[in-house]
Amino acid sequence: MLVFRFYFICFAGLIATLAFATGNGSPRQSSEKHEPPSGTKDSITFSSVHVDEPYIALTFDDGPSAKLTPKLLDLLATHHIKATFFVIGENVAEHPEIVARAAREGHEIGNHSWSHPYFARMSDDNVRSQLRRTDDAIRSAIGIRPTLLRPPYGSITAREKRWIHDEFGYRIILWDVDPYDWKRPGPAVVRNRILKETLRGSIILSHDIHPGTIEAMPSTLDALEAKGFKFVTVSELLRMATPQPSHTPPSSESISTSATPSPAPTQQPSPSG
Ligand SMILES: [Zn+2]
């Protein structure tokens, strides 16, 4: 009987020890489990994404254009390429059918404001109105709300990013490849700049309102494909994010998942975007 009680006490002690250890361990394990990959913690702004495979995201801003966007959609369809369109609300209201076609064909639609102002110079109420009207126009055209915002010119303050993310749920999408196609340098220059700068995980900025950009696309897409790049929408690219090998802890103000320096358009608004 004494032996039995001895074993019972030992067994109970073991259970208690295990429970204690587990109890101590679980919060830490739990927090580790829920921690996002390094470099993406608390990050709502992206100019590129760290990925293991050669995926990239093509983005086209300022449309839709009645003349050029359908041409681009035809080209993307022949290549089976999905892109992301950051549309202007005014243009969506004018040509909702083009936006609807893009969404139907698998492209992603993001908010690029109603009339392309500098957010960093505006009151919260005016920014809110720009976003709300465009959000409504997109939802009316394609049936769902956008989840991405590209601020015109990349102009946005850190404070604006936070409240816009909290209020609209948007992630802020900048870029790391900029061919300056808005300066209309000619199709060959647009293509060469894109080919030179694009890396795996790149987010490529261009505009489907400039004829030279559309002219540049057939050879640009051929060349990017020849280099082995694969095209996904921005949201797909974000879902592919993997931890960075960098040992530098991300700062709380980190605006990008990429270790590559970006053009930092938030600091100095660029005429691009
Ligand atoms: Zn723009």
Question: Per residue in 173-183, pLDDT tens?
Answer: 999 999 999 99
207 Cα: distance to centroid of ligand 1 (angstroms): 7
| Ligand 1 ion local residues (Cβ < 5 A) | 61-62, 152, 273
Q: What is the DSSP string of 146-213?
A: --EE--GGG---HHHHHHHHHHH-PEEE--SB---GGG---HHHHHHHHHHH--TTBEEEEETT-HHH
Q: Tell me, what's the pLDDT at 12?
A: 42
Question: Cα(230)–Cα(158) distance, rounded to whole angstroms?
Answer: 32
136 Cα: distance to centroid of ligand 1 (angstroms): 19
- Across the chain, mean pLDDT equals 83
Q: How distant, in Å, are the alpha carbons of 35, 218, 230, 241 from that of 224?
A: 34, 10, 8, 21
Is residue 37 scored above 50 in pLDDT?
Answer: no
CATH number of 76's domain: 3.20.20.370
Is residue 8 scored above 50 in pLDDT?
Answer: no
Active site residues: 61, 207
Q: What are phi and psi of 60, to 5 degrees?
A: -125, 125
Residue 36 included in any domain: no
Closest CA to 241 of 29, 33, 57, 31: 57
Is residue 20 scored above 70 in pLDDT?
Answer: no
Q: Tell me, what's the pLDDT at 271?
A: 72
pLDDT in tens, 101-125: 999 999 999 999 999 999 999 999 9
Are 84 and 107 a contacting pair, CB within 8 Å?
yes
153 Cα: distance to centroid of ligand 1 (angstroms): 6
- Within the chain, residue ranges assigned H as helices are 2-34, 68-79, 89-94, 96-104, 124-142, 158-168, 187-197, 211-226, 234-239
Are 50 and 243 a contacting pair, CB within 8 Å?
yes
Element (H, E) at 73: helix 68-79
11 Cα: distance to centroid of ligand 1 (angstroms): 69
> Which amino acid, residue 53?
E
Give the pLDDT mean for 205-209.
98
pLDDT, greater one: 64 or 246: 64
pLDDT, greater one: 63 or 33: 63
133 Cα: distance to centroid of ligand 1 (angstroms): 16
Is residue 78 scored above 60 in pLDDT?
Answer: yes
243 Cα: distance to centroid of ligand 1 (angstroms): 30
> Which amino acid, residue 261?
P
156 Cα: distance to centroid of ligand 1 (angstroms): 13
Residue 184 included in any domain: yes
Closest CA to 152 of 173, 169, 129, 177: 173
Is residue 23 scored above 70 in pLDDT?
Answer: no
72 Cα: distance to centroid of ligand 1 (angstroms): 17
35 Cα: distance to centroid of ligand 1 (angstroms): 34
Two tokens, residue 43: 């990050």
Residue 172 included in any domain: yes
Residue 11 included in any domain: no
User: Domain count of the chain?
Assistant: 1
DSSP state of 118: -
Give the pLDDT mean for 231-244.
96
Residue 35 included in any domain: no
Q: What percent of the chain has pLDDT over 70?
A: 75
Domain that holds residue 189: 47-239
pLDDT, greater one: 246 or 135: 135
